[in-house]
Amino acid sequence: KTEDHLFGAEKTKKTKKTIGFFKPIEHTTKDELVLPEGFKYDVIAAYGDKINEKGDTFGFNNDLTLFFPIEGSSERGLLWVNHEYTNPLFVEGEKQGDKYTAKQIELLLYNQGGSIIEVYRDKDGVWKMDTSSPYARRITGLTPCRLTGPAAGSKAVNGATTVQGTFANCSGGITLWNTVLSCEENFESTAQEAGLDPTHYGWVVEVAPFDESFAVRKHTALGRFNHENTAMGLSKDGRVVVYMGDDKKDAAVYKFISKGKYDAAAGLKNSALLEEGSLYAANLRKGVWVELTIDAVQQALASESFRVPANVGYSKEELIAMFQTQADVLVYAHEAAMILGATPTDRPEDVEISPFDNTLFIAHTNNDTHGNIHGHITRFFEKDGDLGAMEFDFEIFAAGGRQSGFSAPDNLTFDSNGNLWTVTDMSGSSMNKGVFAHFANNGVYVIPTSGEHQGEAFQFASAPVDAELTGPWFTPDEQTLFLSVQHPGEQSKSLSELTSMWPHRPGDTIPRPAVVAITGFTF
């Protein structure tokens, strides 16, 4: 319960060196997942590992993790893991000519999407994968997915009601009815390489980890863009609210509000709430949420004073032809948002709702186009603390840079002490160079949200060479933190010139993205 949490109250002596449960580490360039004293990690699953008796294998470049307890246990459950993209050096191989072969396309698609694996902590305290699990399965770029909502079957998606697969799965979130919402982010290149319709990708995808009969579905009412994640809560009148970030430069922050109200007793039937509702984008200049409707877009385009925003790559005439129905607004949500005055921001990646006060934290990773090199974390305050409000205020909660010790904040999560956890997303080509050299490898940072050290970052983990740490997620008892180690060795030029060999397992000949379980917590 929220009232049981010591929000912002640190449990031990406050010093610059500790916030109570770990001694912060220093920046490092080691090819290792470096943790504070007293903590350890177990590699649960890495690229290519078999996850079930059928022989399915763990995909590449794992990102989001979500833990679903089995019978309420914090030591056994299902772990959903996203797989965002592949690397031809390690997965499908280089093109022969200008196209992939059919087999290469199959590898490209199979190794994206998501994995459902069963995980447990054994009697020695080691986390492992149970490959005999009846639940373990893959959702891939080959899996049939159902479209729901206003764009399903529309001309805007070329009449499709079922589409092939999900890929470019970056982050996501969990629903109030215990399903996965996985987000399709940079889908364009895979769709092009595989010869697939791009309007079928860039959606929020729902999966029921315990129920394979629940059709995998893409909810078009939540809009199509370069989705980073989702954060779900309830408005004061009981409607479902879903916040979302669009991970590209000069992109908006969104929220969806369902038409119907949440019913805890309805279970998976609540999924229908994501099929009908209103989609909004944030106007930070005015502190208002702008509803994205076809009437409003057409009215704006009809105005003689309308000028095409700089971050919309179409002419006015093309936009008038593009926007004919509400389905068009959802398929081209970014363009609609910009037309209606939503604020372009600096790569809004993870968005999370504080479990303590309903404020909203948004990781704006960076935007060198406007000189925001190291990014910042924004905090929204919805009017009257109501997630269904149409007005908000905001502040810059923490800014990246030398003064804070971190650069390029990405995924976010909270612990019950009121600390905000963030991972960082400096690109492999930038790390340890120029103004990024100060920060060394990517890492995990803990930032108190109130009290003496509010807004200060304390480093908890450092990633292997070239890697990014993604998808932090705690077990309910907060004794284990699941974390993805994505793209170690990504800057390798060839198999004979590898920059990393993490996770340094016997028999491995290449670096392998993997999901780990971190233990040693005392809060």
DSSP character at residue 141: T
507-516: average pLDDT:
97
153-160: average pLDDT:
98
**HSE-CB of 260 using CA atoms within 13 angstroms:** 12
137-160: average pLDDT:
98
CB atoms within 10 A of CB 317: 10
Is 12's pLDDT higher than 80?
Answer: no
The neighbouring-strand residues paired with 43 are: 516
The confidence score (pLDDT) of residue 19 equals 72
- Phi then psi for residue 398, to 5 deg, are -150, 140
Three-state SS sequence of 339-389: HCCCCCEECEEEEEECCCCCCEEEEECCEHHHCECCCEEEEEEEHHHCCCC
The confidence score (pLDDT) of residue 451 equals 84
DSSP character at residue 18: B
Cα–Cα distance list, 393 to 151, 219, 231, 278, 291 (Å): 32, 29, 18, 21, 17
Is 7's pLDDT higher than 90?
Answer: no
The label of the residue with tokens 């997620």 reads 473
The label of the residue with tokens 């397992």 reads 505
pTM given for the model? 0.96
179-197: average pLDDT:
98
Is 44's pLDDT higher than 80?
Answer: yes
The confidence score (pLDDT) of residue 3 equals 33
Q: Tell me if 165 sits within 8 A of 141, measured CB to CB.
A: yes
Could you tell me which residue, 510 or 356, shows the higher pLDDT? 510
108-132: average pLDDT:
98
The confidence score (pLDDT) of residue 361 equals 97
Distance CA 40, CA 516 (A): 10
The confidence score (pLDDT) of residue 422 equals 98
The pLDDT tens digits for 465-498 are: 999 999 999 999 999 999 999 999 999 999 999 9
SS3 12: coil
pLDDT band at 227 (very low <50, low <70, confident <90, very high): very high
Distance CA 320, CA 310 (A): 17
The pLDDT tens digits for 91-103 are: 999 998 999 999 9
The pLDDT tens digits for 491-509 are: 999 999 999 999 999 999 9
Distance CA 74, CA 64 (A): 18
Is 104's pLDDT higher than 70?
Answer: yes
pLDDT band at 224 (very low <50, low <70, confident <90, very high): very high
Find, among 329, 327, 350, 349, the residue nearest to 338 by Cα.
Answer: 329
Is 431's pLDDT higher than 80?
Answer: yes
Q: Give per-residue burial for 260-283: e unless 16+ CB within 10 Å, then b.
A: bebeeeeebebbebbbebebbbbb
Strands 514-519 and 249-251: unpaired
The confidence score (pLDDT) of residue 10 equals 35
Average of per-residue pLDDT values in the chain: 95
pLDDT band at 405 (very low <50, low <70, confident <90, very high): very high
Structure tokens at 375: 């990014």
pLDDT band at 452 (very low <50, low <70, confident <90, very high): confident
Is 13's pLDDT higher than 70?
Answer: no
The label of the residue with tokens 């990646």 reads 349
The confidence score (pLDDT) of residue 9 equals 32
Q: Tell me if 291 sits within 8 A of 279, measured CB to CB.
A: yes
